[in-house]
Amino acid sequence: MLIDMHVHTIFSAGSLLAPEDLIEQAIELGLDGVCVMEHDSMLASETTEEFAEGSSVTVFRGVEASTDLGHILVYGVTVEQWRPYEKQKGIQAQKLLDMVQEWGAVAVPAHPFRFNSPAVGAKLETLVGIFAIEGLNGRCDSEENQLACQAAERLNLKITGGSDATTPGLLGSCLTEFDRQINTMAELVEEMKKGRFRARYF
């Protein structure tokens, strides 16, 4: 099962990708699912989920949280759990990781070595509760992705792949391949926790 684990729509600042265009292109590419990770918001991904209803593409809703140390992708959080933090920026990274563990969700630092974006980078080793690292990001260059993959190997963590798409042409450039069929976010998190996935380029 092929899932782009990190996409944005026009409901995230800087993205030009409309929800309906995202779903249409995901179908054309043959993707099985996309994780819509709008910045600091769970509510913002609802429209994309609605556009995907009845299609061959499953939308999984997460959030890309802006922490004091950089951006962290959270998979498995609910709208109600995130409500106190909706649109909040600068949350303490370790506090977020602690909450994610309490929620039974998983946290993955996004583009940790991107040079021109808020990124965890060398601070990875100071954080407790990181589940995996985004090692393949479609908007990172090869060196930035290589540094992320090397950090994952050093910390004995798995890597995920996502395009970080903000325009239609980037969607699906980096993916995560899962061994089993996944229909819900709870199933996605379960498969992640069991390690039954691998990052790959499209």
For 75-127, what is each residue's pLDDT tens digit?
Answer: 999 999 999 999 999 999 999 999 999 999 999 999 999 988 778 998 999 99
What's residue 122's pLDDT? 86
Distances (CA, A) of 48 to 40, 149, 150, 154: 16, 30, 34, 36
Enumerate the domain spans of the chain: 2-201
Write down the architecture of domain 2-201 according to CATH.
Answer: Alpha-Beta Barrel (3.20)
Buried b (16+ CB within 10 A) or exposed e, 89-106: eebebeebbebbeebebb
What's residue 118's pLDDT? 77
For 50-77, what is each residue's pLDDT tens digit?
Answer: 999 999 999 999 999 999 999 999 999 9
